[in-house]
Amino acid sequence: MGELGVAVIGCGFIGNVHLRAWSKVKGSRIIAAVDLIGGKAKRAAEAYKAPYWLTDYTKVLEMREVDIVDVCTPTYTHAEIVVSAAKSGKHVLCEKPIALRLSDADDMIGAARKAGVKFMVAHCLRFWPEYVESKRLVESGAIGEPRIARAYRLSPFPEWAPWHKDRRLGGGVFVDMSIHDVDFLRWAMGEVEEVFARGGTLKTADSTSHDFTHAILKFKSGAIAYVEGSWIQPPGFPFTTYLEIVGTHGMLAVDNHSPAALKVYRPGEPPAVYTPFEEDAYDKEVKHFYECIVRDLEPAVPGEEAKKTLEVTLAAVKSVDEGRPIKLPLEGEVL
């Protein structure tokens, strides 16, 4: 197999992160950067030496030299782009959440299967160092059976993506952000059977999306988890995550500030507290997808997995709306 051509659709924050990651994957070549806003596509194409920049994604589906389409657009556009990319025979990497409707997820999964292309949803915690190591510890039996988990993720509202204020476009804080923790907990602890959640649109003006949600998950195994997502942090609040898993023989806990290798302080900016890796989670994620294509492997997060994770987050939205616990699987759509 020769070099695989990549087109990244959506050149916002995560699109640029993926472009940088693709630029490091030997055996791949960035062919096109696509964005509805021409300036963004052009800047991204220039930065990553892609021969083409486009505003119409359907054009890349016709390009023979494009093997992989990496969908980094707003959530509400995922289904249409992924289905048409798969139908065009392109392998598809799609940013999380997979979609906002379960039927859309089914269409995406079906289209990829029918076309015989690889399809993965970019749930980056599956490549995130402390989460990968936590999963490994749980799997190794180091803390016994995982029985109680706690995870939270705190951020100011993502003002840079105003479509998040419309729940039909972005799904809200739990579907968009806590989905990371839910996906990780499913990965580490198995399937969820019931969700109770509380929250709402507590602070954000003119938003139909929930900006704060806490959820209590009951797993099939009998384990339980508390997951909280906040988009109501004050401006400038440093992005904060926490994970704790208690097992029958011990526990693990990790957050994203205390164990950081590096702290950078600059005037007028919140401290940057992080642990840099030459190959970061996004690099690993993108490289993994490339390997899946080249070696014909099952991707770490196939569409079916991402759909199950989505379903749990949708159950949380439904629980907040209806004030009662929601059993899985869901009957019908939520958003």
Residue 194: CB minimum distance to other proteins, A:
8
Residue from 48, 128, 152, 282 binding other proteins (CB under 8 A): 152
Beta bridge partners of 230: 154, 212
325's CB contacts (< 8 A; 6+ apart) are: 194, 195, 196, 319
Identity (one letter) of the amino acid at 307?
K
Structure tokens at 227: 């997951």
Q: Which is nearer to other proteins, 100 or 154 (CB)?
A: 154
Site for other proteins in 8-27 (CB under 8 A): none
Q: Which H or E element spans position 94? A: strand 91-95
Residue 173's CB: how many other CB atoms inside 10 A?
A: 32
Structure tokens at 122: 């970019």
Residue from 51, 110, 325, 329 binding other proteins (CB under 8 A): 325
Rounded to a whole number of angstroms, the CA Rg of the chain reads 19
Residue 197: CB minimum distance to other proteins, A:
8
Residue 191: CB minimum distance to other proteins, A:
16
198 lies in the binding site for other proteins (CB under 8 A): yes
Residue 324: CB minimum distance to other proteins, A:
7
Site for other proteins in 128-147 (CB under 8 A): 144, 147
Structure tokens at 222: 């009998």
Which of 48-56, 67-75, 115-123, 150-158 is the region at the interface with other proteins (rule: CB under 8 A)? Answer: 150-158
Residue 329: CB minimum distance to other proteins, A:
18
Which of 92-100, 124-132, 242-250, 264-272 is the region at the interface with other proteins (rule: CB under 8 A)? Answer: 242-250
Residue 235's CB: how many other CB atoms inside 10 A?
A: 8
Residue from 196, 238, 254, 260 binding other proteins (CB under 8 A): 196
Q: Which is nearer to other proteins, 36 or 246 (CB)?
A: 246
33's CB contacts (< 8 A; 6+ apart) are: 7, 8, 11, 15, 19, 41, 42, 44, 45, 48, 50, 52, 53, 54
DSSP assignments along 185-247, one per residue: HHHHH--EEEEEEEEE--S-TT--S-SEEEEEEEETTS-EEEEEEES-PPTTPPPEEEEEEEE
Residue from 39, 162, 250, 271 binding other proteins (CB under 8 A): 250
Q: Which is nearer to other proteins, 1 or 205 (CB)?
A: 205
Residues 150 and 243 sit within 8 Å (Cβ to Cβ): yes
Residue 333: CB minimum distance to other proteins, A:
24
Task: Kindly write out the interface string for residues 156-195 of this chain, putting x where it contacts other proteins by CB under 8 A and - elsewhere.
Answer: ----------------------------------------
In angstroms, the CA 257 to CA 260 distance is 5
Task: Kindly write out the interface string for residues 200-239 of this chain, putting x where it contacts other proteins by CB under 8 A and - elsewhere.
Answer: x-xx--------x-x-x-x---xxxxx-x-x-xxx--x--
DSSP assignments along 240-299, one per residue: EEEEEEEETTEEEEEESSTT-SEEE--TTS--EEE---SS-HHHHHHHHHHHHHHHT---
Residues in the site for other proteins, rule: CB under 8 A?
A: 144, 147-148, 150, 152, 154, 196-200, 202-203, 212, 214, 216, 218, 222-226, 228, 230, 232-234, 237, 246-248, 250-251, 323-325
